[in-house]
A and B are shown apart, each in its own frame.
Chain A
Amino acid sequence: MTPPSGLKLPKQGQVCRLTKSLYGLKQASRQWFAKLSSFLLNLGFAQSNSNYSLFIHKTSSTFTALLVYVDDIILSGNSMEIINKTKGTLHQTFRIKDLGKLKYFLGFEISRTKKGIHMCQRKYALDILNETGMTNNKPCQTPLMSDTKPLFATNNTSYNVDSYRRLIGKLLYLTNSRPNINYSVHLLSQFVQAPTTYHHQAAQHILRYIKADPGRGLFFPRDTSLQIKGFSDSDWATCPETRRSITGYCVFLGESLILWKSKKQSTVSRSSSKAEYRALTTTSCEIQWISYILHDLCIQLDPPPVLYCDNQAARHIAQNPSFHERTKHIDIDCHVIRECLQNNLFHLLPMSSSDQLADIFTKALHRTNFKLNVHKLGMLSIHHPV
């Protein structure tokens, strides 16, 4: 390694031969994790199979979960005694620092009140606004311009590619506490290859929407059941170039939103019910994963998870294991959901389209609908002017 600036060298032209791993080396993180996990396993923690960075320790009455994010650790549990003990043993082997109650983690600001926990990325949002010079622009009420068709039009005026990509990358991280901009960022991120001025305008529109409420984030209420509720939706053949459909889903734990996504499907669907059926399958896989994690965390899945779908045909294909003339070509992996339903892993329930919460992940909604939907997702702001 080239010697660091500031190191006094006895002779010019020498280099440092590393005998130990240093931050930034490719192998550093793997070696670190191997050391930490073997230490935790010795302590009696068990590594979760659903996520390798989650460690769980349980006795008859107590329960402790430990979550690792490189060198940040969250310890959570119902007994302060065990938490303190674990902290003590960790401190003997590694030098750790107790940051106290979780407040700032990976750029998320977390605050706790009697009603629940609020999580937002206010500082991150303000930093993006500052960097792009958008702090003085007029706030707006929806993240997308009403007309999304020109996004797909090819005109030649290309725009600064680097800054556009950087901005999209930042917005992608911001979606982690703001599901309301998820669809719009998903749409704009399809054009990072060759952005035009129109895409840039659309990105600025998102920033103006963020400016309207930088402190908005997810709220996890205290009084809630622990039932998993999934909402699955799809938009049929929206992409004018490939005619593929968009899957959108969100998963709630009681009243708290924990997982969402919008993604363009990998194949073309000939009818809306097939698109919905594909979306259902994706959502059911996610629900399975969440229920495995909750099982690891010793949470009783009672009542069992439910999955809501507003498309009657898709529900029928999933529920009746009969062979249809027109579903011959549906790939075998789409029948995952049939197996889940036969094993009673969750219930598939109908719902009216007007109550569909996953709508916001599949299309650009009108202002009034958008506001209503955001409210239903459990997003609020503690920084809003009264």
Chain B
Amino acid sequence: MRRSIRDRKLPHYLKDYQVNGSLTINNSCQLKPTNQIKANYKTAYPIDSVVSYNGLSKEHLHYTLTIIANHEPQSYIEASKTKEWRDAMNREIQALENNKTWYLTNLPNGKKPIGCKWVFKTKYNSDGSIERHKARLVAKGYSQQEGIDYFDTFSPMAKLTIVRIILALAAAKDCAYINLMLITPFYMEI
């Protein structure tokens, strides 16, 4: 569909307002669109006309906003520029060495090493504040060959149907439910 290429200008009566469908937080932690006027400059269909956080409780609002506002480095080079991430990587290397996960050696002839990479994640508390920066070293397991590098695999993944059943039951029976997460990286004998 062809769209008009005419230059669009903001109407005069809006020149004192900030328009573009952006959101601001005022002191009472309540979200509202900066302009209540329907007119919109660049965005024809701003997202805040379809999502609103007004109905949420204060606690839930904080939590909701935090999980969409984050930036995590994608590569080692990007992460090594920030102190928090460097510390996180040092901690991880320290933990791996304390566990004696590997020893350094020369590569045997005719073998190819498998690769590894860093994964960076920001972890949050349940109220939305940042809990810690987490760096984890992962092996690029996709280059492993069955029968040579490994034998059996299995992933303990719950069916999402079961998650829904448990939630539906918890709602109907007033059960308590909590979420635990194992933070020790699992190192086991190969």
- Measured CB to CB, the residues of A under 8 A from B are 1-7, 9-11, 13-33, 35-37, 51-54, 65, 67-78, 80, 83, 87, 90, 94-106, 108-112, 116-117, 119, 122-123, 126, 129, 135-139, 176, 211-215, 218, 220-224, 226, 253-254, 256-259, 290, 293-294, 297, 299, 382-386
Q: Assuming the A-B contacts A1-B102, A2-B115, are A136 and B56 also in contact, with contact meaning beta carbons closer than 8 angstroms in the complex?
A: no
Say whether A385 contacts B50, CB under 8 Å. yes
Sample (17) of A-B pairs whose CB atoms are under 8 Å apart = A4-B137, A17-B103, A32-B188, A53-B158, A54-B158, A74-B180, A76-B178, A77-B175, A78-B173, A97-B181, A99-B126, A109-B67, A111-B60, A129-B47, A136-B44, A138-B45, A383-B53
Interface residue from A1, A67, A83 paired with B116 (Cβ < 8 Å): A1
Q: How many residues of B contact A (CB 8 A)?
A: 91
Q: In the complex, are the beta carbons of B56 and A382 less than 8 A apart?
A: yes
Of B6-14, B22-30, B163-171, the one with at least 4 CB within 8 A of chain A: B163-171
Contact yes or no, B178 A256, CB < 8 A: no
B157 located at the interface, meaning its Cβ lies under 8 Å from any Cβ of chain A in the complex: yes
Would you call B54 and A385 a contact (CB within 8 A)? Answer: yes
Interface majority SS (helix, strand, loop, mixed), chain B: mixed
Quick one: CB contact mask for B106-125 with A, threshold 8 Å, 1 for yes? 11000001111110000000
Taking the nearest CB of chain B, how far is it from the CB of A123, in angstroms?
5
Closest to A23 in B: B138
Cα–Cα distance between A108 and B164 once the two chains are bound (Å)? 11
Quick one: closest A residue to B124, CB to CB?
A104
Is the Cβ of B178 less than 8 Å from the Cβ of A259?
A: no
Determine whether the beta carbon of A71 is less than 8 Å from that of B182. yes
Q: Counting CB contacts under 8 A, is B82 at the interface?
A: no
Which residues of B (125-148) have their CB < 8 Å from a CB of A? 126, 136-141, 144, 146
Residues B169 and A299 in contact, CB atoms below 8 Å apart = yes
| Of B43, B138, B172, the contact of A220 (CB 8 Å cutoff) | B172
Q: Would you call B105 and A20 a contact (CB within 8 A)?
A: no
Q: Is the CB of B183 within 8 A of A6?
A: no
B36 at the interface (CB under 8 A from A): no
Complex CA distance for A136 and B96, rounded to whole angstroms:
46
Cβ–Cβ < 8 Å partners of B46 in chain A = 136
Do the beta carbons of B165 and A222 come within 8 Å of each other?
no
In the assembled complex, B17 has its CB within 8 A of some CB on chain A: no
Q: Are A123 and B67 in contact (CB under 8 A)?
A: yes
Q: Is the pair A103, B180 in contact by a Cβ cutoff of 8 Å? A: no
10 pairs of A and B residues whose beta carbons are closest in the complex? A24-B138, A16-B102, A385-B52, A256-B168, A76-B177, A20-B187, A24-B139, A95-B184, A220-B171, A33-B156
> Which A residues touch B179, using CB under 8 A?
72-75, 99-103, 105
Contacts of A98 in B (CB 8 A): 178, 180
B84 to chain A, nearest CB (A): 14
Provide the bound-state CA to CA distance between A83 and B177, in Å.
Answer: 9
Find out whether the CB atom of A29 lies under 8 angstroms from the CB atom of B104: no
Minimum CB distance partner of A112 in chain B: B171
A68 touches B156 (CB 8 A): yes
Contact assessment for B156 and A26 in the assembled complex, using a CB-CB cutoff below 8 Å: no
Contacts A74-B163, A253-B165 given; indicate if A2 touches B178 (C-beta within 8 A): no
Q: Which of A16, A77, A123 contacts B176 (CB 8 A)?
A: A77
Q: Is B64 an interface residue (CB 8 A)?
A: yes
A96–B115 contact, CB under 8 A?
Answer: no
> How far, in Å, is B157 (CB) from chain A's closest CB?
6
- A residues less than 8 Å from B114 (CB atoms): 1-2
From B100, B104, B156, B168, give the contact of A258 (CB < 8 A): B168
CB-defined contacts of B149 to chain A, threshold 8 Å: 26
User: Is A211 touching B102 in the complex (CB atoms < 8 A)?
Assistant: no
